[in-house]
């Protein structure tokens, strides 16, 4: 089940999905009956027999057509090939994904084509408790075309002597932002766990019909969306309308004139506490200072 979801870091919603099958007829358990080629069911069956990477692009195009607001696509190493990065970039999405550490995948670095392993060995690593070990800019080459990308080498928390590689085609993001954004991809793993363990995705429907299983999946997704909406309204202040505005309103910035008056008052207090000057002498010093100010500023201070 290949699923496309949307997340803002607080709420995850399944947007679209496709149940993948096999293009080889002998590997299909229950062959479908003849279906009208003009129907959505027929198109869905055709999608199911394509490669997962191609179906993923079709899901993204559908999301783009539906104007679902998103700027970055997050996925794991299964999709992170140069051809996929170029394809997603052509749809006007940037990618943040994990890349396999394989000697068979090359990126353009310092004028040469190198694997991520070679690039890692050529550079000095960051020391201390930094969130990442190394960050480099590379070019992703496909059929002579090049797109810039940033590769971030992150410590593997489960195996201290190993590292993970994150790639981002939005080079304006800093390393911490790339790591933080990629962390949002975990929401889809939680989604799968909830659907399988609590919403009966794998146990409630025992049909061999592709259409029936697809319909059941849509029902389970709808259940999850209802729970996500309820959770957001109960736990996320951003969904509480006007109350959220009261929470998020920041203290109004003081004006420049108010700040200047506060400095003058502080200056008076310091002179009073740390010198033996009389109050009359302090007032004379302040008045002498005020007389040296420009006329416009002096007028605004006296008016305030």
Instruction: Give a three-class secondary structure readout of 140-181.
Output: EEECCEEEEEEEEEEECCCCCCCEEEEEECCCCCCHHHHHHH
**Range of lowest pLDDT (14-23, 39-48, 209-218, 252-261):** 252-261
- Evaluate whether residue 52 is within a structural domain: no
- Evaluate whether residue 233 is within a structural domain: no
Residue 93 near residue 37 (C-beta atoms within 8 A):
no
Q: Give me the number of domains the chain comprises.
A: 2
Q: What is the spatial distance between Cα 204 and Cα 114, in angstroms, rounded to a whole number?
A: 49
51 sits in the region (left: phi over 0; alpha: psi -120 to 50; else beta) called beta
pLDDT at 96 over 50: yes
Same domain flag for 267 and 180:
no
Q: What is the spatial distance between Cα 41 and Cα 288, in angstroms, rounded to a whole number?
A: 86
Answering whether pTM is above 0.75, one says no
Same domain flag for 180 and 260:
no
Residue 74 near residue 96 (C-beta atoms within 8 A):
yes
- Evaluate whether residue 137 is within a structural domain: yes
pLDDT at 137 over 60: yes
- Evaluate whether residue 264 is within a structural domain: yes
Measured CA to CA in angstroms, residue 50 lies from 35, 93, 199, 207 at distances of: 18, 22, 28, 22
- Mean pLDDT in the chain? 85
- Evaluate whether residue 297 is within a structural domain: yes
Same domain flag for 179 and 87:
yes
Structural domain boundaries, residue 100:
77-184
| Terminal CA-CA length for the chain | 67
Same domain flag for 178 and 89:
yes
* b/e per residue 286-295 (b: at least 16 CB within 10 A): eeeeeeeeee
- Mutual angle of helices 279-291 and 295-303, in 10-degree steps: 130
Q: Which of 165, 184, 203 is the last residue of a domain?
A: 184
Q: Which of 164, 184, 204 is the last residue of a domain?
A: 184
The predicted pLDDT at position 5 comes to 94
The predicted pLDDT at position 62 comes to 92
- Evaluate whether residue 31 is within a structural domain: no
pLDDT at 181 over 70: yes
Same domain flag for 261 and 168:
no
Same domain flag for 260 and 174:
no
Q: Which of 184, 205, 236 is the last residue of a domain?
A: 184
- Evaluate whether residue 99 is within a structural domain: yes
Q: What is the spatial distance between Cα 262 and Cα 256, in angstroms, rounded to a whole number?
A: 10
- Evaluate whether residue 242 is within a structural domain: no
Residue 171 near residue 137 (C-beta atoms within 8 A):
yes
List, in sequence order, every beta strand (DSSP E) within 23-131.
72-75, 94-99, 107-109, 112-114
Q: What is the spatial distance between Cα 142 and Cα 164, in angstroms, rounded to a whole number?
A: 23
pLDDT at 86 over 70: yes
Opening angle at CA 40, ends 37 and 44, nearest 5? 90
Q: Looking at mean pLDDT, say which of 44-48, 126-130, 182-186 comes out highest.
A: 182-186
pLDDT at 118 over 90: yes
């Amino acid at each position: 089940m290949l699923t496309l979801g949307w997340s803002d870091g607080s709420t995850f919603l399944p947007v679209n999905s496709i149940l993948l099958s096999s293009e080889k007829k002998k590997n299909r358990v229950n062959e479908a009956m003849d279906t009208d080629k003009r129907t959505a069911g027929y198109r869905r069956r055709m999608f199911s027999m394509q490669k997962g990477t191609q179906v993923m692009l079709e899901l993204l195009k559908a999301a783009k057509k539906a104007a679902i607001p998103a700027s970055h696509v997050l996925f794991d190493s299964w999709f992170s090939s140069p051809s996929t990065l170029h394809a997603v970039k052509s749809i006007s999405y940037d990618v943040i994904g994990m890349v396999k550490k394989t000697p068979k995948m090359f990126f353009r670095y310092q004028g040469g084509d190198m694997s991520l392993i070679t690039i890692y060995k050529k550079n000095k690593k960051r020391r201390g408790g930094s969130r990442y070990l190394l960050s480099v800019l590379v070019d992703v080459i496909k059929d002579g075309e090049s797109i810039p990308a940033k590769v971030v080498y992150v410590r593997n928390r489960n195996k201290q002597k190993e590292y993970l590689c994150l790639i981002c085609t939005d080079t304006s993001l800093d390393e911490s932002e790339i790591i933080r954004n990629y962390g949002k991809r975990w929401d889809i793993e939680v989604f799968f766990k909830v659907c399988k363990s609590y919403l009966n995705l794998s146990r409630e429907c025992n049909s061999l019909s592709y259409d029936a299983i697809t319909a059941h999946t849509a029902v389970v997704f709808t259940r999850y969306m209802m729970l996500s909406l309820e959770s957001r309204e109960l736990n996320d202040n951003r969904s509480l309308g006007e109350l959220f505005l009261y929470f998020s309103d920041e203290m109004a910035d003081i004006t420049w004139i108010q700040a200047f008056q506060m400095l003058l008052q502080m200056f008076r207090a310091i002179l009073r506490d740390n010198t033996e000057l009389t109050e009359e002498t302090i007032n004379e010093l302040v008045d002498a200072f005020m007389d040296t100010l420009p006329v416009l500023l002096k007028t605004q201070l006296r008016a305030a």
